[in-house]
Amino acid sequence: MALVTTVGAHSSNSFVTLEEAEYIIQTLGMQTDAWKSLSASRGVRITGSNPAPFSIIPGINDTMILSLVGPTSGNQTITFTGDPLVLTASQFCIAVNRQLVGVTFIPTIDNKISIELTDPSKTLYINLVDRSLYSTLGIPAGEYSDAVTSKKEYMLEMAAQVVGLLPLAGRRIYKRQALSFPRLKFCLHDYSKRSDYYEYEWGYPILDLDLDYPYMGYDPVEISTIPQEVKEAQAILAPLIVQPTLEKQTTLSSLFYLPPGMQNAVVNDVEVAGIMTVKMTEITSPSAITTGTTNVNVLSTMGNVFCMPVYMRMKPWLTQVKGGSIRPPLEDLYTLLPAID
């Protein structure tokens, strides 16, 4: 699923687009080698499971049909003719690359074959064919899209959820709002109106934008936009916290019904710099999710150090109960000084 950034919508799953996040990460100098390596490998579509040498017998396993247009159009055909051949990975790549446009076969360090596209945004189609050459390489026929973009978007989705785990002040604005922003801090008028003024849903009062906001004096731009600091916090969390956490989960698991990145960890706490420490408890079975363990993975050890840039941006929206000031419960009743520009 692609990133949905509609502000306040029930379908939203991110505060930023992938392009915005990439710009933020690069501009702030938060790119990691691991994050950059994802970008560097974006054109790679598939790596074969069989190592060289490759034995090729014309009439038996001599044909492979690729396309960048569609499964039934724009075909490029690889063929071997003549005598049987036994080729190294490098020799095989040299032979087939002469027959292709926009597609490059690359030998890996373990003597297997990767297929890379010149245009990373395109989809590769490997067509079913008799006298299959792709089976010799250990590459299944099928459709191969940009997996790196999908992976980064998934990590950004997780980062948006991590933002929601912070000890945030205030409340969401819209009915069925999926993400934690946009949000408002409580004000005097929330408590002074009579009980029949609000719409109610599940027993809780719901703001009426047409009636409430002119009376309460909130800026319509503020309630329909995501603060830039929140966008930056999400972008920072993706390479510094989410990606290493996913890649840390390498332990083989018998929990076949969970994706690898979730098999051995459950998020159970988020705190930054004395206020936020992102923690994921490692588990060995579904029952451990409820019973808990004392093992904490990489998020706990990285959180306090690497989340300081997140804390500096998110501070205006944090309750700061631990290690900082507590917001007075009656603060909205006070006459405050004008804002400082």
Tens of pLDDT, residues 3-33: 999 998 889 999 999 999 999 999 998 888 9
Would you place residue 106 in the very low, low, confident or very high pLDDT band (cuts 50, 70, 90)? very high
Say whether both 310 and 237 belong to one domain.
yes
Say whether both 56 and 120 belong to one domain.
yes
Checking if the pLDDT of 275 tops 90, the result is no
Say whether both 67 and 49 belong to one domain.
yes
Ramachandran assignment for 251, one of left (phi > 0), alpha (psi -120 to 50 degrees), beta (any other) = beta
In the chain, % of residues over pLDDT 70: 65
Structure confidence at residue 37 (pLDDT): 87
Q: Is 178 inside any structural domain?
A: no
Structure confidence at residue 15 (pLDDT): 97
Checking if the pLDDT of 302 tops 50, the result is no
Would you place residue 39 in the very low, low, confident or very high pLDDT band (cuts 50, 70, 90)? confident
Checking if the pLDDT of 196 tops 80, the result is no
Structure confidence at residue 146 (pLDDT): 86
Structure confidence at residue 267 (pLDDT): 47
Q: Locate tokens 């706490």: which residue?
A: 269
Mean of the per-residue pLDDT values for the chain?
Answer: 76
Q: By CB neighbour count within 10 A (0-12 exposed, 13-18 middle, 19+ buried), where does 254 fall?
A: exposed
Say whether both 272 and 313 belong to one domain.
yes
pLDDT in tens, 245-266: 777 654 444 445 455 555 555 4
Checking if the pLDDT of 111 tops 90, the result is yes
Structure confidence at residue 330 (pLDDT): 53
Say whether both 128 and 23 belong to one domain.
no
Say whether both 247 and 134 belong to one domain.
no
Say whether both 73 and 194 belong to one domain.
no
Query: Inter-axis angle of helices 18-27 and 147-164, to 10 degrees?
Result: 80
- Over residues 31-47, mean pLDDT: 88
pTM: 0.64
- Over residues 115-125, mean pLDDT: 92
Q: Is 335 inside any structural domain?
A: no
Checking if the pLDDT of 229 tops 90, the result is yes
How many other CB atoms are found less than 10 A from the CB of residue 76? 16
Say whether both 266 and 317 belong to one domain.
yes
| Single residue among 145, 163, 195 that ends a domain in this structure | 145
Q: Which segment of 18-22, 88-92, 204-208 scores lowest on mean pLDDT?
A: 204-208
Structure confidence at residue 71 (pLDDT): 86
In the chain, % of residues over pLDDT 90: 42
The Cα–Cα gap between 124 and 129 comes to: 16
Say whether both 131 and 54 belong to one domain.
yes
Would you place residue 82 in the very low, low, confident or very high pLDDT band (cuts 50, 70, 90)? very high
Say whether both 37 and 51 belong to one domain.
no
pLDDT in tens, 309-337: 888 888 888 876 554 545 555 555 555 45
Quote the domain boundaries for residue 129: 43-145
Say whether both 52 and 161 belong to one domain.
no
Say whether both 256 and 194 belong to one domain.
no
**CATH number of the domain residue 116 falls in:** 2.60.40
Structure confidence at residue 16 (pLDDT): 97
Domain count along the chain:
3
Structure confidence at residue 121 (pLDDT): 85
